[in-house]
Chain A
Amino acid sequence: MSTARPAHPQVMQPSRPGPTRTAPPMRPARMPLRGPYLTHSLFGATGLIYLLLGLLALEIVWALGSGEEAWNRVRENFQHPLYIGFHTLAFASILFVGVRFFRLFPPAQPPRIGPAKPPPPGVLMAMLYAAWIGVAGVLALILAGRIF
């Protein structure tokens, strides 16, 4: 004797729709400069450093295209303590952005990528840091005249 019966999922439906439990978005009390939000805000503030670095890079490349005199003038400007101070801050910001950004990769991986599983978090981080150190190192060696 079969015990199977036709399914009638509509019998589970409430007679009238229930109230939604979605709350309006609220700004956390410690946002934006206290507790864990400070790091988040600092990460956002590196945007200003990157914007300035992009504009400075534009100035340098433009000077390179304008001739030797303009190129040497820009390089002389870079020896000013203000520029050195800015570049020190910029270098710290770049390291902060890289470390924070790469930390997001392991938890952002899907359970499977097609037929394969993503690499373990440690391996993934090692690959990212190897790429970062590799690209930065090769570029630094080229710019410093050690290769090419």
Chain B
Amino acid sequence: MKHLLLRIEPVVWFLFGQGIMIGTMLLTGWVLVLGLAIPLGLVSPDALAYERAYGLGSHPIGRLLLAALIALPLWKGAHHLRHLSIDFGGLSRDVVVAPILYGIATLGSLAAIVAVIRL
């Protein structure tokens, strides 16, 4: 397992970096509107009525952005939590923690692809 984790390290670092960079840029607007402004009544709920939301999401660019918005934060989260676990508990449990976190990110990324294809 340690050998495999070392072999995939460059790919994970790439996805982690994109998760911070692109994930942060996309999540800022996403959380601001969908998570705060609409629920707090600052923006009309009609802005994301089903027909409009579906039209935006099912556009090819919309699908690409949504896939990135799901998958990249998952990789950023998984890699950061793995290193937090190493900081707090040392390397001994990394062979268990890392596969679980990267497994969640992998399954989530695959689910993201399926989710945008079904739109």
Q: Which residues of A contact B (CB under 8 A)?
A: 31-32, 40-41, 43-55, 57-58, 60-62, 64-65, 68, 71-72, 75, 78-79, 83-84, 86-88, 90-91, 94-95, 97-98, 101, 131-132, 135-140, 142-145, 148
Contacts and interface: CB of A to CB of B under 8 A. Distances in A.
Interface string B1-43: 0000000000000000001110111111111111111111001
Main secondary structure of the interface of A (DSSP, over half): helix
A83 B39 CA distance: 9
Contacts of A145: 43-44, 46-48, 52
B34 A60 contact: yes
Given A57-B69, A61-B66, A64-B53, A140 B32 contact: yes
B56 A54 contact: no
Contacts, number: 177
B33 A144 contact: yes
B115 interface: yes
A44 B36 contact: no
A48 B70 CA distance: 14
Nearest to A98: B24
A63 B53 CA distance: 11
A95 B27 CA distance: 10
A137 B29 contact: yes
B39 A51 contact: no
Contacts of B95: none
